[in-house]
Amino acid sequence: MKAIALFAVSATAVTVLAGCGSSKPSNQPDSAFVYLMDRQSTWVENKVDTMPALPQDANLQGFTVSQNTPLTFSIDKNSLTVGDDGVVRYTVVVTSPAGARNVNYEGIRCDTYEWRLYATIEEDQKGWDRTVANDFRRIQNGELNAYHAALYQDYFCANKLPTGSASQILSNMKYGRTATSTNSYK
């Protein structure tokens, strides 16, 4: 009796295995499975309808770009936001040794290493000029005044994601905790 039962189980197993081997491999994509890297991007940028208030000197947080540039760089602490679209938005103030200032409202997209200009301060210093806005552009490394790269690499982004909330980023900037300095303690 045991032999018949064992034979029946073996025959069933052979039939099942035979059925598995009868189909030929296909180069057609399996609609039930898509590799993570092959997924099409459905990223949508959050709308930027309102501009932040113009920066006040008391709200500026400085950061280092290069020891070789005479310019000073800072962001307006009140303008820094981290969007659920993965874009860190901020107002940057670039000041020359003579006191001339460029003020821009920008965003850095962490997953693609890109930046975007939303507006610059008007000539009369009383509002924002949105006509200068551009699409996302690749961040350039190695330039003397490459503040986008410094913000991305040192404070805003790690592993293609924002490094934290706006308050965490500001705390790191305040205490000079860059991505490389915080990783060396782990």
Average pLDDT over residues 91-109: 97
Residue 5, pLDDT above cutoff 70: no
Report the predicted TM-score, pTM, of the whole model to 2 decimal places: 0.75
Tokens found for residue 114: 């890109």
Return the percentage of the chain with pLDDT > 90, whole number. Answer: 64
pLDDT digits (tens, 9 = 90+) for 135-185: 999 999 877 779 999 999 999 999 999 999 999 999 999 998 887 655 544
Asked if 139 and 108 touch (Cβ cutoff 8 Å), the reply is: yes
Higher pLDDT, 90 or 177: 90
Taking residue 108's Cβ as centre, other Cβ atoms within 10 Å add up to 24
Using DSSP, state whether 81 is helix, strand or coil.
strand
Architecture of domain 57-174: Beta Barrel (2.40)
Question: DSSP assignment, residue 21?
Answer: H
Asked if 100 and 93 touch (Cβ cutoff 8 Å), the reply is: no
Asked if 111 and 86 touch (Cβ cutoff 8 Å), the reply is: yes
Asked if 89 and 50 touch (Cβ cutoff 8 Å), the reply is: no
- State the alpha helices, DSSP H only, in 76-165: 147-150
Q: Where are the domains of the chain?
A: 57-174
**Closest CA relative to residue 118, chosen from 134, 94, 138:** 134
Residue 132, pLDDT above cutoff 60: yes
Give the model's pLDDT for residue 142.
Answer: 78
pLDDT digits (tens, 9 = 90+) for 31-56: 556 566 666 668 999 999 999 999 99
Asked if 125 and 138 touch (Cβ cutoff 8 Å), the reply is: no
Give the model's pLDDT for residue 135.
Answer: 95
